[in-house]
Chain A
Amino acid sequence: MSKKTKKKMREAFAYARLIILGLIMVYPLLWMFFASFKSNEEIFGSLRLLPKSFSLQPYIDGWSSAGGINYGKFFFNTFVLVIPTTLLTVLSSTLVAYGFTRFNFKGKKQLFGLLISTLMLPNAVIIIPRYTIFRTLNVIDTYWPFYLAAVFACYPFFTYMLIQFMRGLPYDLDESAYIDGCGTFRVLYQILLPLLKPAIFSAGLFQFLWTYNDYFNSLIYINSVKKFTISLALRLSIDAETVVQWNQVMAMACVAVIPVVILFFVAQKYFVEGVSTTGLKG
């Protein structure tokens, strides 16, 4: 065996291994996709991956939900909720992180301690007080509970992550910028922001994913079905006392993961960069 064929063999083996691993990883998604064409009996009664027949009917039936609201509306709602929340989170967290890392002020240590302590509060503990605050502000059944939390950097995890990242950026850069006549804001957006890009992208991506997938908060704050997001809509037809048409649920679940899959492919570079530079994993 020549060296060349040996190398090729090794490559083939490596690729085969990767392909098998990859298939194992995407298997649940594949199963969900094919399950959308199966009948209930087929889903629960057989282990076969491929359905007996393909038909678009579950997608058509599933798209319109009870009460004449269709998934177009639910998708629209989801983006109206998720996109501003993500952008505002990134904006506010960056500002707060900038304040904590680059400025000295009275009580900074205590405030930082406070920030970290809110990081440790589980969601279940703060949900009722938070709900009460938002009720007083009269914003229940709107998306403002999400926006407001984002505006005021109430996602301590991202703030903390950006603070840690920004601490790693040398202060010399700021100083040289000050000498050249930059103001404090210009230092942030012209000097630090470009360097923060990997951290900001990973914060944004994860906030997008987490908000998109979030069920509990949407459930608590949103009452009207016409304002439901995808995660709430997907459960609308699941109940122990009715016969659930699982193929329709699966069909809509397939549609629901499309934006996330697209996002992953488009932002793949940043995912990897974000994970390697911030140590944050999804």
Chain B
Amino acid sequence: MKLKKIMAVILAASMMMSLAACSNSTDSAEKAPSNDTTVTKAPDAGTNTSDAEEAHDPVSLRFSWWGGDARHEATLAVIDLFEKEYPWITIEAEYGAQDGYNDKLMTQFASGTAPDIIQLETGAAPEYYAQEQLLDLSSTSIDFSNFDPTFLENNGQFGSGSQYAIPMGKAGTAIVVNKDLADKIGIDFTKPYDWNQLIEWGKQVQAYDPSLYLISGNETYMMPFILRAMARQMNGLPIINDADNTLNMTEEQFTQALEFIKQLYENNVAVPLSYMATYGVNNQDDPNWIAGKYVAYVGYTSSADVMQAANPNANYIAGNLPVFADRKSDGWVNDCPQYVGIYAKSKNPEEAALFLDFFFNNEEAMKTLGTVRSVPPTEKAQKITLESGKLNPLTKMAVDVSMQYNGKSDSGKTTSAEVSAILCTAYENVAFGEKTPAEEAKEIVSLINDYLAAQ
């Protein structure tokens, strides 16, 4: 009996082993070409040297990005163009939805398997830079001469003086205004105005028709729109001073900003947050926007055309942005909807740099990409897309509006995930009336100081 038992155990074990064993053998055979980035020598690499071009070992790079259909198609087309020009380089496209993109990237960073070329979320990029996951692009062959130097400095250098990420497009905060409705009520977004004017206009809209609202804005966009922008206007500086880990904002200033948020929701200037929460950042799906019940939408230039397409029955303009009369800086910045960077552990950084150089500087590539990543980051590409009719006039207007302000980016600890969460909670607490602005300001200061103490 005992012998049988032992036999059974051995049999079971061998059965499992055989399953596992066959798994490994077939796997390594089919896996080889798929995801490794090591250089494999082509069999005839030696014989081709007689050609004018020097012989290269074939290189395979991985490029990951998120987006929708149009972006996928255009980016794949550019990869094709690039591969034709550099036949020894193959680019494996890894594209998908933004949903879970960062989770996956963090997993890959944690285990050293991230793609060579990576599209990065702007909020997350400074953290990746701090973790030394990104390659210093200033040391590579990428030609930055088509870019505006200040724009580059504000986007992707993270205060280091070297480029670690390249902004893939130009964007900024945008107020998309339903011009028909605004004209009817008598609101003019094209003139300069201050924050309090928004409250006045909001009351005017409510008096006109209580089912209408002045501002539709989701929490994710409204928090930076008010708290971070006000901070930049009040002090000319971000909320947090990254260099010595201190707060630039005082408790009184926070109270002032939060008081504005309170006014915004108490007077029904903005659509209640509880309603907005249903749609997340997909506000183009909001039936009230589609029905033209909001005067303006607070978002980014990159979503202007999407909001426009949701309700094609109305005429839209990009409105000016609110400022304080006694501001230290205009506060509104030109930033980018996403970065692209090269993985610090990439085995072929030179080829990856070649690709990025092609991506941003080749005219054919500019034409193909159009505006799939918002307004192109270089002047030259903007001209090309405008000429080819690919640049949406509303998007162009929104970018032009945001260009007239002289703010400086606050990307860094202010935009880190933890601080953003603190600010969003504060925004909610005040918007829902759970705490007074003064209480909440105290809370923010103590929470951010805790965060800074741990840095």
Which A positions have Cβ atoms within 8 angstroms of B? 40-41, 44-45, 65-67, 88, 92, 95, 99, 103, 127-128, 131-132, 135, 137-142, 144, 147-148, 151-152, 183-185, 215-216, 219-220, 223-225, 227-228, 232, 235-245
B312 proximity list for chain A (CB < 8 A): 41
Top 5 nearest A-B pairs (CB, nearest first) are A242-B68, A239-B68, A66-B72, A235-B97, A141-B35
Cα distance, A151 to B285, chains bound together (Å): 44
Q: Given A44-B290, A185-B11, A223-B94, verify A241-B69 contact (CB < 8 Å).
A: no
Q: Which of B241-290 contact A (CB under 8 A)?
A: 281-282, 284-287, 290
B145 within 8 A of A: no
Q: Given A135-B111, A223-B62, verify A241-B67 contact (CB < 8 Å).
A: yes
- Name 10 extra pairs, CB < 8 A, besides A66-B76, A147-B23: A65-B69, A66-B95, A131-B110, A144-B23, A148-B23, A220-B103, A220-B107, A236-B69, A240-B306, A242-B71
A242 proximity list for chain B (CB < 8 A): 67-71, 306, 372
User: Do residues B27 and A237 form an inter-chain contact, with CB atoms below 8 A?
Assistant: no
User: Do residues B67 and A138 form an inter-chain contact, with CB atoms below 8 A?
Assistant: no
A140 proximity list for chain B (CB < 8 A): 35, 113
Cα distance, A215 to B98, chains bound together (Å): 13
B325 proximity list for chain A (CB < 8 A): none
B20 within 8 A of A: yes
User: Do residues A132 and B67 form an inter-chain contact, with CB atoms below 8 A?
Assistant: no
CB within 8 Å: A-B pair count: 154
A151 proximity list for chain B (CB < 8 A): 16, 19-20, 23
Q: Determine which of A142, A215, A225 lies in contact with B100 in the assembled complex, contact meaning CB atoms within 8 Å.
A: A215
Q: Give the Cβ gap from A128 to chain B, nearest Cβ, in Å.
A: 5
User: Do residues B35 and A45 form an inter-chain contact, with CB atoms below 8 A?
Assistant: no
Cα distance, A41 to B27, chains bound together (Å): 47
Q: Give the Cβ gap from A10 to chain B, nearest Cβ, in Å.
A: 42
B194 within 8 A of A: no
Which residue of B96, B103, B305 has the most chain A CB atoms within 10 A of its CB atom?
B96
Cα distance, A66 to B96, chains bound together (Å): 10
User: Do residues B67 and A239 form an inter-chain contact, with CB atoms below 8 A?
Assistant: yes
A88 proximity list for chain B (CB < 8 A): 19
B329 within 8 A of A: no
Q: Given A224-B34, A239-B67, verify A128-B23 contact (CB < 8 Å).
A: no
B107 proximity list for chain A (CB < 8 A): 127-128, 131, 220
Q: Given A220-B104, A225-B94, verify A128-B31 contact (CB < 8 Å).
A: no
What is the interface of chain B mostly: helix, strand, loop, or mixed? Answer: helix
A131 proximity list for chain B (CB < 8 A): 107-108, 110-111
Smallest CB gap from B108: residue in A: A131
B191 within 8 A of A: no
Smallest CB gap from A130: residue in B: B107
- Per-residue CB contact flags for chain B residues 90-122 toward chain A (1 = under 8 Å, else 0) read 001111111110011001101111010000000
Which B positions have Cβ atoms within 8 angstroms of A? 4-5, 8, 11-12, 16, 19-20, 23-24, 27-28, 30-31, 34-35, 62, 64, 66-73, 76, 92-100, 103-104, 107-108, 110-113, 115, 281-282, 284-287, 290-291, 302-303, 305-306, 309-312, 337, 372, 374
User: Do residues B113 and A135 form an inter-chain contact, with CB atoms below 8 A?
Assistant: yes
User: Do residues B34 and A141 form an inter-chain contact, with CB atoms below 8 A?
Assistant: yes
Q: Give the Cβ gap from A254 to chain B, nearest Cβ, in Å.
A: 18
User: Do residues B95 and A236 form an inter-chain contact, with CB atoms below 8 A?
Assistant: yes
Smallest CB gap from B97: residue in A: A235
Smallest CB gap from A148: residue in B: B23
Smallest CB gap from B71: residue in A: A242
Q: Give the Cβ gap from A79 to chain B, nearest Cβ, in Å.
A: 17
Q: Give the Cβ gap from B384 to chain A, nearest Cβ, in Å.
A: 20
B93 proximity list for chain A (CB < 8 A): 67, 225
Q: Give the Cβ gap from A154 to chain B, nearest Cβ, in Å.
A: 12
User: Do residues A41 and B374 form an inter-chain contact, with CB atoms below 8 A?
Assistant: no
Smallest CB gap from B16: residue in A: A151
User: Do residues A240 and B28 form an inter-chain contact, with CB atoms below 8 A?
Assistant: no
Q: Given A67-B73, A240-B303, A242-B71, verify A219-B31 contact (CB < 8 Å).
A: no
User: Do residues A240 and B282 form an inter-chain contact, with CB atoms below 8 A?
Assistant: yes
Cα distance, A137 to B281, chains bound together (Å): 39
Which residue of B98, B103, B107 has the most chain A CB atoms within 10 A of its CB atom?
B107
A41 proximity list for chain B (CB < 8 A): 290, 310-312
User: Do residues A224 and B72 form an inter-chain contact, with CB atoms below 8 A?
Assistant: no
Cα distance, A205 to B337, chains bound together (Å): 43
B34 proximity list for chain A (CB < 8 A): 141-142, 224, 227
Q: Give the Cβ gap from B99 to chain A, nearest Cβ, in Å.
A: 6
User: Do residues B12 and A95 form an inter-chain contact, with CB atoms below 8 A?
Assistant: yes
Q: Give the Cβ gap from A113 to chain B, nearest Cβ, in Å.
A: 21
Q: Determine which of A67, A139, A219, A236 lies in contact with B104 in the assembled complex, contact meaning CB atoms within 8 Å.
A: A219
Q: Given A238-B97, A242-B306, A243-B305, verify A183-B4 contact (CB < 8 Å).
A: yes
Q: Given A41-B290, A67-B76, A138-B31, verify A239-B92 contact (CB < 8 Å).
A: no
